[in-house]
Amino acid sequence: MYYAEEDYIKLIYELAIENDVELIKTSDLSSKFGYTDQSVNEMIKKLSQKGLVTFIPYKGIKLTETGLEQAIRMTRSHRIWEVFLTEKLGFLWQDVHEEAERLEHATSPRLVEKLFDYLGRPTHCSHGNPIPSIKGPTQNPARLSLLSLNQNESFKLIRVLDHKELLTFLNKNQINLGDTIKVVEKMAFEDLLKIDVNDKEMIISSKVADMLFGEM
């Protein structure tokens, strides 16, 4: 399988989990990749001929069992490499995605499992996404966003979107997984939130708050 095909399969997998849906629209893929609908459709056709995705006209696409297996293998490799890069090589969390993106394709299943054991069998990547297991169900990612909290509610930050600018912003403001964040004030008109994190008040946009997930 080519890298591009593997990336498509992985993205279909990730979008379905992120949005908690069974079927993905091709337009979701084109907007994520920045490709035209036509080129996405061609790729989907190719993948369905290979038995990796099922296309249901006017409804969307989903992975076949084989496609799902491939997606889990890739995602697992990607997230284990991220842990290695941050924990063992001191990479910042905003810098690991591209490295892991290259490494995931080149890693044999044997090496992935060796790495997994070496790292003490981690359960989550550096961004708080669960590392899927080859067999058996995968834990769902935290889906409660900071934006959905009411004023004066707080949660523990356990997952952030793997988005470079967001991660850089969080790093600059010393916001990390495990921190408790409280919504001090919601300023709906300005589209801003005043939050308290580690006893420090700051203002963030709704856009940022919608990329942070946790548990109460």
Q: Which residues bind Zn ion (CB under 5 A)?
A: 82, 125, 127, 162
If the CB atoms of residues 28 and 82 are measured against Zn ion, the closer one turns out to be 82
How far are the Cα atoms of 21, 172, 186 from residue 130, in angstroms, in the given order? 17, 25, 30
Task: Rank residues 8 and 81 by Cβ distance to Zn ion and give the closer one.
Answer: 81
- Cα 71 to Cα 53, 90, 104: the distances in Å are 11, 27, 11
Kindly state the tokens that stand for 55. Answer: 């296309």
Closest approach, Cβ 117 to Zn ion, in A, equals 20
| Nearest-approach distance from CB 176 to Zn ion, in angstroms | 14
| Distance (Å, whole) CA 37 – CA 176 | 37
Longest dimension (CA), the chain: 55
> CA-CA distances (angstroms) from residue 21 to 13, 14, 15, 18, 129?
10, 10, 8, 8, 17
Question: Whole-number minimum distance, CB 6 to Zn ion, in Å?
Answer: 17
Identity of the amino acid at 168: T
Nearest distance from C-beta of residue 107 to Zn ion, angstroms: 15
**Percent of the chain as helix, strand, coil, to the nearest 5:** 45, 20, 35
CA distance linking residue 96 with residue 103, whole number of Å: 10
Tokens 């284990």 correspond to: 80
Q: Quick one: 125 or 204, whose CB is closer to Zn ion?
A: 125
Taking the least distance from each CB to Zn ion, the nearer of 177 and 184 is 177
Please, what is the minimum distance in Å from the beta carbon of residue 50 to Zn ion? 27
Nearer to Zn ion, 70 or 86 (CB): 86
- Please state the closest distance from residue 124 (CB atom) to Zn ion, in A: 8
161 vs 192, beta carbon nearer Zn ion: 161
